């Protein structure tokens, strides 16, 4: 899941679709005077208050956050308007910066400010607020959220107002609005209302697609891709949820700068499946050929733990950086499995897609490793290690290796560089000691052996294979002492090629 989040962020960074919840960084002045309609809550009264209400919106804010200050008057205005409707919608706020309220921010997993949550039924259902940030927008979004989860479609006008060309809509068709099937549909709508729109109708003729003579009970899902609608006639709630989630996922998820695709891109990365990504130039002549071939393959593997995305290189710089891919490898397919394995087919042609994916499935494709090129000269005191030389220089060199994992942008790494140079110089004539560094952002590192959480991270591997994390002071003398204390005598062997 963590990995997925990184990828989603990278892919969408260009277009800032999830950017409405931007964090605040600068500390500034005090919070403004107390308000009337927005209810202030803290750790002492939060649970009691929420338990008494069917629908509460809570803003988690920090006093120094600029976006929170901008939201405050809009939020207050919305609270005053919403207090007059029936049943009333309560808007509340919690100062998440306050030490004693931190239990609440961790319970609700608050990572940025402001974050708004909708708490239903005394807090038993928690939902992300995904609406606008201006007073009128807040009011209309919350009216809809606090109203019935499903909208009754009574006329063709109703239908055309809810069937959106870019969105998923789930409609229940019933002979009457009662009975267990209808209730289960309502439960479904309640459960998934944050993510999908729901409608119900007595008359399938009002709907734009599908069999118009159907009298139900049936659930028809409208979607802006593939076969454009799908019907379902089971009413077990879990089966309905599964139906909605599966059929609302495109066979091939498209990714470019068009924000209408982005909800599906997020879904793609949140799926538990392995992920196949084809990156190419959408403006190229080959686009149509790829699209149809790729679609065929994706349809073949539907329901087989592999999801498919087609991305335009124009929007995919983040992913390229993340995977260490190069423009000259395009068109390419990269598959990422859930255990972090990566498989690459560079310069792929439309006709090769199916056989390569089959080879992958059959276990006949070698994993791909991100690596910088092997340096031609490596004669600075601190030796450069890349992913492709990791085995030879670190695991199999038979030396005592002090290895720095660094990032090019990291200030502490820059500070360490001259010190590390001096350490390396002091071992210059010692053939049994190697001081080395690897750019951990440009090379895959063996994650089962090294845990690199920040930069720089220093590991020492003795000639006999003892692995130690260096956590001493980053001074020349301390590092030299550490190496001398932990080094092992190098065995005089001709070849040491044991795999670790
Ligand atoms: C909760 O407690 C805080 C601090 O004592 C107080 O300012 C606030 O008005 C209380 N809220 C409610 C709804 O009682
Ligand atoms: C309604 O949903 C419940 C719970 O999922 C299920 O046990 C029941 O069989 C469903 N009713 C119908 C008519 O499908």
Q: Three-state SS across 455-472? A: CCEEEEECCCCCEEECCC
- Ligand 2 center from residue 256 Cα (angstroms): 40
Among the candidates 247, 277, 309, a domain finishes at: 247
Among the candidates 115, 146, 177, a domain finishes at: 146
- Ligand 2 center from residue 148 Cα (angstroms): 21
Shared-domain flag, residues 222 and 261 = no
Shared-domain flag, residues 266 and 282 = yes
Bond prior to 336 in cis (omega within 30° of 0):
no
Burial group, residue 52, by CB count within 10 angstroms (0-12, 13-18, 19+): exposed
pLDDT of residue 32: 43
**What is the separation of C-alpha 157 from the centre of its chain, rounded to a whole number of angstroms?**
37
Residue where the block lists tokens 């409208």? 222
Phi (first) and psi of residue 296, to 5 degrees = -60, -45
Please indicate, yes or no, if residue 233 is contained in any of the structural domains. yes
Shared-domain flag, residues 460 and 392 = yes
Bond prior to 244 in cis (omega within 30° of 0):
no
H/E stretch holding 119 reads strand 115-120
- Ligand 1 center from residue 42 Cα (angstroms): 6
Shared-domain flag, residues 317 and 210 = no
Ligand closest in space to the Cα of 238: 2
The pair of three-digit structure tokens given for residue 104, joined into one six-digit string: 């609440």
Residue 37 domain boundaries: 31-146
pLDDT of residue 270: 84
Shared-domain flag, residues 81 and 130 = yes
Provide the pairing of β-strand 197-201 with 169-173: parallel
Please indicate, yes or no, if residue 368 is contained in any of the structural domains. no
Phi (first) and psi of residue 109, to 5 degrees = 50, 55
Which one, of 449, 428, 430, lies nearest residue 438 by Cα? 449
Please indicate, yes or no, if residue 5 is contained in any of the structural domains. no
Atom of ligand 1 nearest to the CA of 46: 1
Among the candidates 146, 161, 193, a domain finishes at: 146
Q: What is the domain-level CATH number for residue 471?
A: 3.40.30.10
The pair of three-digit structure tokens given for residue 135, joined into one six-digit string: 């007073």
The pair of three-digit structure tokens given for residue 487, joined into one six-digit string: 């080094």
Bond prior to 217 in cis (omega within 30° of 0):
yes
Shared-domain flag, residues 287 and 342 = yes
Check if 184 has its Cβ closer than 6 Å to any atom of ligand 2. yes
- pTM for the model stands at 0.68
CA distance 248 to 483: 57
Please indicate, yes or no, if residue 494 is contained in any of the structural domains. no
CB 150 within 8 A of CB 186: yes
CA atoms within 13 A on the CB side of 271: 27
Check if 38 has its Cβ closer than 6 Å to any atom of ligand 1. no
Please indicate, yes or no, if residue 428 is contained in any of the structural domains. yes
Check if 42 has its Cβ closer than 6 Å to any atom of ligand 1. yes
Please indicate, yes or no, if residue 374 is contained in any of the structural domains. no
Q: How many CB atoms lie within 10 A of CB 99?
A: 8
pLDDT of residue 432: 94
- Residues carrying an active site annotation: 65, 68, 410, 413
Helix segments in 2-65, DSSP class H: 2-12, 46-51
**pLDDT tens for the chain, residues 1 to 500:** 345 555 666 555 433 333 333 333 333 333 444 557 999 999 999 999 999 998 999 999 999 999 999 999 999 999 999 988 877 799 999 999 999 999 999 999 998 899 999 998 888 888 889 889 999 999 999 998 998 899 999 999 999 888 877 889 999 999 999 999 999 999 999 888 888 999 999 999 999 888 888 888 999 999 999 999 999 999 999 999 999 998 999 999 999 998 888 889 988 988 889 999 999 999 999 999 999 999 999 999 988 899 999 999 999 888 898 888 989 999 999 999 988 889 999 999 999 999 999 999 999 999 998 899 999 999 999 999 999 999 999 999 999 999 999 999 999 999 999 999 999 999 999 999 999 999 998 998 888 889 998 899 999 999 999 999 999 999 999 999 999 999 988 765 544 444 44
- Ligand 1 center from residue 45 Cα (angstroms): 6
Shared-domain flag, residues 388 and 458 = yes
Bond prior to 331 in cis (omega within 30° of 0):
yes
Counting the structural domains of the chain, the total is 4
pLDDT of residue 17: 32
Ligand closest in space to the Cα of 95: 1
Q: pLDDT by residue (tens digit) across 337-372? A: 988 889 999 999 999 999 999 999 999 999 998 899
CB 144 within 8 A of CB 157: no
CA distances, 39 to each of 42, 63, 80, 95, 445 (Å): 10, 16, 11, 12, 50
- Ligand 2 center from residue 180 Cα (angstroms): 7
Ligand closest in space to the Cα of 104: 1
Would you say the C-alpha torsion 126, 239, 195, 110 has a positive or negative sign? positive
Check if 305 has its Cβ closer than 6 Å to any atom of ligand 2. no
Shared-domain flag, residues 131 and 185 = no
The pair of three-digit structure tokens given for residue 216, joined into one six-digit string: 């139900």
Please indicate, yes or no, if residue 367 is contained in any of the structural domains. no
Long-range contacts for 22-31 (Cβ within 8 Å, ≥24 apart)? 22/67, 22/112, 23/65, 23/67, 23/111, 23/112, 23/113, 24/62, 24/64, 24/65, 24/66, 24/67, 24/68, 24/112, 24/113, 26/64, 26/66, 27/64, 28/64, 28/66, 29/64, 30/63, 31/63, 31/95
Check if 41 has its Cβ closer than 6 Å to any atom of ligand 1. yes
Check if 235 has its Cβ closer than 6 Å to any atom of ligand 2. yes
Shared-domain flag, residues 206 and 130 = no
pLDDT of residue 214: 87
Q: How many residues does the chain have?
A: 500
CA distance 475 to 327: 41
Shared-domain flag, residues 159 and 198 = yes
Atom of ligand 1 nearest to the CA of 49: 13
Shared-domain flag, residues 349 and 418 = no
Please indicate, yes or no, if residue 498 is contained in any of the structural domains. no
Shared-domain flag, residues 37 and 142 = yes
CA distance 346 to 370: 13
Give, for ligand 1, the residue of 42, 52, 100 to mutate: max count of ligand atoms closer than 8 Å to Cβ: 42
The pair of three-digit structure tokens given for residue 180, joined into one six-digit string: 């267990």
Check if 181 has its Cβ closer than 6 Å to any atom of ligand 2. yes
Residue 172 pairs in a beta bridge with 200, 219
């Amino acid at each position: 899941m963590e990995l997925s989040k990184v990828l989603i962020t990278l892919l969408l960074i260009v277009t800032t679709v999830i950017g409405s919840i931007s964090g605040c960084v600068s500390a500034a002045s005090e919070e403004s005077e107390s308000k009337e309609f927005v209810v202030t809550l803290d750790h002492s009264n939060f649970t009691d208050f929420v338990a008494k209400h069917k629908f509460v919106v809570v803003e988690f804010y920090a006093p120094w956050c600029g976006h929170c200050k901008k939201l405050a008057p809009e939020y207050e205005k919305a609270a005053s308007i919403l207090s007059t409707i029936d049943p009333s919608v309560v808007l509340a706020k919690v100062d998440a910066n306050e030490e004693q309220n931190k239990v609440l921010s961790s319970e609700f997993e608050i990572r940025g400010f402001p974050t708004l949550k909708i708490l239903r039924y005394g807090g038993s259902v928690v939902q992300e607020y995904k609406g606008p940030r201006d007073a009128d927008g807040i009011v209309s979004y919350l009216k809809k959220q606090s109203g019935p989860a499903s909208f009754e479609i009574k006329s063709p006008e109703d239908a055309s107002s809810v069937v959106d060309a870019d969105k998923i809509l789930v409609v229940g068709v019933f002979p009457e609005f009662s009975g267990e099937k209808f209730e289960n549909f309502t439960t479904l709508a309640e459960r998934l209302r944050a993510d999908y729109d729901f409608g119900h109708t007595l008359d399938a003729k009002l709907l734009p697609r599908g069999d118009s003579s159907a009298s139900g009970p049936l659930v028809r899902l409208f979607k802006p891709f593939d076969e454009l609608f799908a019907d379902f006639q089971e009413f077990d709630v879990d089966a309905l949820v599964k139906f909605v989630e599966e059929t609302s996922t495109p066979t091939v998820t498209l990714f470019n700068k068009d924000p209408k695709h982005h909800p599906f891109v997020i879904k793609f990365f949140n799926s538990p499946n392995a992920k196949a990504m084809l990156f190419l130039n959408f403006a190229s002549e080959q686009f149509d050929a790829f699209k149809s071939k790729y679609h065929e393959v994706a349809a073949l593997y539907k329901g087989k733990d592999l999801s498919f995305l087609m991305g335009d290189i124009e929007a995919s710089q983040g992913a390229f950086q993340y995977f260490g891919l190069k423009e000259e490898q395009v068109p390419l397919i990269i598959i990422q499995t859930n255990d972090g394995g990566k498989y690459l087919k560079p310069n792929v042609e439309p006709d090769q897609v199916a056989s390569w994916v089959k080879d992958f499935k059959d276990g006949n494709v070698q994993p791909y490793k991100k690596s910088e090129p092997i340096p031609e000269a490596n004669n600075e005191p601190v030796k450069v290690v890349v992913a492709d030389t990791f085995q030879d220089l670190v695991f199999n060199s038979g030396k005592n290796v002090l290895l720095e994992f660094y990032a090019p942008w990291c200030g502490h790494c820059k500070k360490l560089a001259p010190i590390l140079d001096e350490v390396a110089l002091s071992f210059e004539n010692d053939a049994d000691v190697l001081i080395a560094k690897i750019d951990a952002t440009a090379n895959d590192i063996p994650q089962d052996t090294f845990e690199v959480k920040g930069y720089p991270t220093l590991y020492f591997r003795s000639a006999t294979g003892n692995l130690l994390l260096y956590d001493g002071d980053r001074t020349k003398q301390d590092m030299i002492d550490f190496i001398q204390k932990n080094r092992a005598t190098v065995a005089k062997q001709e070849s040491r090629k044991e795999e670790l």
